[in-house]
Chains A and B, each alone.
Chain A
Amino acid sequence: MPSLRDLERDVARALLGEADGAVLASILGDGLSPAARLGVYRNHVFSTLTDALEATYPVVCRLVDPRFFAYAVDRYIRACPPAGPCLFEYGESLPEFLAAFPPCRHLQYLPDVARLEWAINRALHAEDAEPLDPTRLRGLSPDGAARLALRLHPSASFLESRWPVDRVWRANQPGADPDGIVDLDAGGVRLEVRRLGDDVVFRSLAAATYAFRSALAAGGDLERAVEAAQAAGPEFDLTQTLRELLDDGLVVGSSAPRSRMGATDAN
């Protein structure tokens, strides 16, 4: 008699395609053979996960055709099964999988389109957060300001691509001009994706603004974000950029150094 833990592990493996005699011996067929009974569950797992991935990646599915998509995600589900029960959380690593999947490796823009769709999915389901009251940033010492980390809205993410993935995405929405042509050589984009109210929105940012915001999103302090922005564009205006960030309601918290006046700073 296997332990429950062993049984669950064996059933999970069997569902992903590696059925063996031991697990079949534990299954009551109830009118079907144990293998056929297991097949009912396997079919359900694959059709549910395929539907979930298609819902998260509709543009990728459209670009490669639903039949190819079903084939690719069948391989993906076997290689990277879900780690948790929530369907909307499944599929984060699909872009990397597609980038390395030989049958579509020549579609170089495809993984970045998938990354954009994942960012949209992530933004849609991110928790809510209230914008920071900007007056709380008053009275910082020079060291305190440089080491200030601004926490951005949980729905916000930043995505850079060599390809115009925003245009690819728009051209593949329901109701888009069917004769519209996207020039893949039109140049890359730097996108900010976030939720605004109940809608997910994205827009392209100038190089310096993108560098500034994505450095903050990665947890960098103001000094680091300023360095990144100055490296990206010499005309960078910190006051203006900071002000736009606050006006966009994207800052939801700050971790100022403990000593606001910098008097007892050990670093």
Chain B
Amino acid sequence: MLYRDYKTGVGLRPKHYHLFEEALPKGIHWVEVISENYMLWENHRNDRPLKNLLRIRPHAPVALHGVSLSIGSADSLNKNYLKCLKSLIKDVEPIMVSDHLCWTGLNRLNSHDLLPIPYNGTTLKHVKERVDQVQNFLGRTILLENASSYVEFAHSEIPEWDFLVELSRKSGCGILLDINNVYVSARNHGFNPMTYLRAIPPALVGQVHLAGHLDKGDHIVDTHDRQVCDDVWKLFQWWVNNNGLQSTMIEWDSKIPEWSVIHSEVSKVERIRKRSLEQRRPNNIRSNREAEWNVSL
């Protein structure tokens, strides 16, 4: 399955809502929202966020990005959650629906965090079956994002990138490739991010995320509260030069700055995309090596 390139998007946050009411700001072609913030659930049916979203929906393609599907949990899937999500999908008619390759809780206890899973054949089979159930229930394909991580399981037998690709191939779900998360996990676990990116077939990727993180020297914390770092920009540049253009968005979740700061990040995405298109013209072909990401870890 080839995914459509919706060009450049941004995470829509309440602070900047007013800028999206009449039309999309210059350079923005779609927005992504956190699904759970718009879902109407038992006893808590505040429909104001959803009404606000539906007001901008006619001129703004919307991607729904969840954080609570818990696809990697050993628990059974939460039917109530899935029903709320399905109802939201019906209302919003999103261009994409995504969540994370992770688990958030067990025995109905919730950590409200994106926790890593052990990568092995047993888990792959388990998660694949759950993706099947989710996609059948929702009646559409979902994208799963590689989450950043700070520990690796002793029970992992295959690299994360192989697990993600196999999961996508076996279940038909797409990959939401978060290049910042690849970089964060690479630094935390000591692998080369290029090994990860080279292993991902671009045809499986439905969306690309870029975000900022906090570099603590010996490790990185994925904070989404600042600009994308130079190394991640270089990885993104390598990705588009070698794999073509995919829907790409800037994710900024805390310490939300003025719009001009986010817009400047979006403009960088646009510039890299444009440059990549120019390089792809037949009389301007150059070696991939020239554009290769060359920062050593």
Question: A and B bound?
Answer: no
* Interface residues, chain B, with chain A CB atoms under 8 Å away: none
* Interface residues, chain A, with chain B CB atoms under 8 Å away: none
